[in-house]
Structure 1
């Protein structure tokens, strides 16, 4: 494998403060990428400081990526600092509640869509003009096999939207040398979140409903286990890199054989 796939490339990674986003940022930096780390949490500076101490060029942008203004500020600052954007990996999202659909309140449904659809929608809209003007680029959106699953219907709807955005954008912009792909992540083992998506402790019912998600995920997965962050990162980096130069409009399930609705 080429260990310098991102040498000289300017790479935006959103949601870079923790989890898969942090893993992607560390891996791309290790392969020579110039990093633009975006997150609304100040914790992203800890990741940036570590990467800089290892010799990487890093720009941090703290922004609310649920808004177009926030997404555009990331691209604007990236271009101002580095002059271009070669890779954009849109990673922000994640289910906030775990419950049957009839238990969701209106404001909770709106918050789920805002969290898991808009950061990718706005991120793509913000970076496209720059990639068009410079003659190409690679976008990788992070979706989920949970487009088919239980107890998180609003999240499933949002990730179904991410899949539609990905395929349609690939069709619109292939002639401009812009590749657009997505990874549909499966259940992934990760350290406890530094900032929880839901600050309220789960009720007893919510614990049962969440366990149903875990059980359904493992049951649907041929390998009968959760994946690792590294296994997700490896797939993301492949699609983002020139090794996938003839791949676009593809949603790659990385779920141990559970394809969700991504195949």
Structure 2
């Protein structure tokens, strides 16, 4: 894994729903690189379409834990390190489902709307410390989690007539992590090929 990521990287296995693991990740990162000035909250879980009356509470709670609670924990435990660094940038990966509703995916939609709201609340609180917080809302991006959903017929619905590529999202995240976006905070950045414009 480390060889794929490059020389200046550190791989730490983590359960993002566990406070102890977040503390460990921050500590290990500080030991290797000093105070943290960028956090990308990108863990996520999806579930198949399921009607509201059939949705189990266990499934709902699991989605919320991974998609929402992990973002809270990441922000909570990185803030002291970012204060020590004199500022930083937090980028929370939400989804187009955090902007518009998603059919038969109530937990996923709830979790992604929550990430959007938490981002705004954190931005209001952390601005005094020079910490910026923004959310990114991808539409259909060609990844192992979405590959089975994307086909020619679906892509014709998109104004750009194609699904997005992971590199396109990465470029946006890199912009938000850098000082190139120094006056952006508390905002949502949609990257969906125009799908949400319908």
Q: String of CA shifts for 1:151-171, please: whole Å, max 9, x gaps.
A: 211011011111011111111
| 1:150 and 2:84 aligned | no
Go from structure 1 to structure 2 and tell me whether the alpha carbon gap of 1:106 and 1:140 turns closer, same or farther (over 3 Å shift).
Answer: same
Give 2:84's match in structure 1, choosing from 118, 133, 147. Answer: 133
Unaligned ranges ≥5, structure 2: none
Q: Does the CA-based 8 Å contact 2:126-2:132 persist in structure 1?
A: yes
* 1:252 alignment counterpart: 189
Give 1:186's match in structure 2, choosing from 130, 136, 139. Answer: 139
Counterpart secondary structure, 1:188 = coil
- How high is the TM-score relative to the length of structure 1? 0.67
Counterpart secondary structure, 2:91 = strand
Q: 1:150: how far off?
A: 1.0
Alpha-carbon distance in structure 1 between the residues aligned to 2:128 and 2:53: 44
Alpha-carbon distance in structure 2 between the residues aligned to 1:239 and 1:255: 17
Equivalenced residue count is 193
Q: 1:253: how far off?
A: 0.6
Go from structure 1 to structure 2 and tell me whether the alpha carbon gap of 1:173 and 1:155 turns closer, same or farther (over 3 Å shift).
Answer: same
Counterpart secondary structure, 2:11 = strand
RMSD of aligned residue pairs (Cα, Å): 2.4
Greater strand share, 1 or 2? 1
Counterpart secondary structure, 1:184 = strand
Go from structure 1 to structure 2 and tell me whether the alpha carbon gap of 1:184 and 1:97 turns closer, same or farther (over 3 Å shift).
Answer: same
* 2:163 alignment counterpart: 226
Q: 1:218: how far off?
A: 5.4
* 1:110 alignment counterpart: 61
Unaligned ranges ≥5, structure 1: 1-45, 194-209
Give 1:173's match in structure 2, choosing from 126, 148, 151. Answer: 126
Q: 1:99: how far off?
A: 1.8
Go from structure 1 to structure 2 and tell me whether the alpha carbon gap of 1:101 and 1:254 turns closer, same or farther (over 3 Å shift).
Answer: same
| 1:95 and 2:49 aligned | no
Alpha-carbon distance in structure 1 between the residues aligned to 2:16 and 2:26: 11
Q: Does the CA-based 8 Å contact 2:37-2:81 persist in structure 1?
A: no
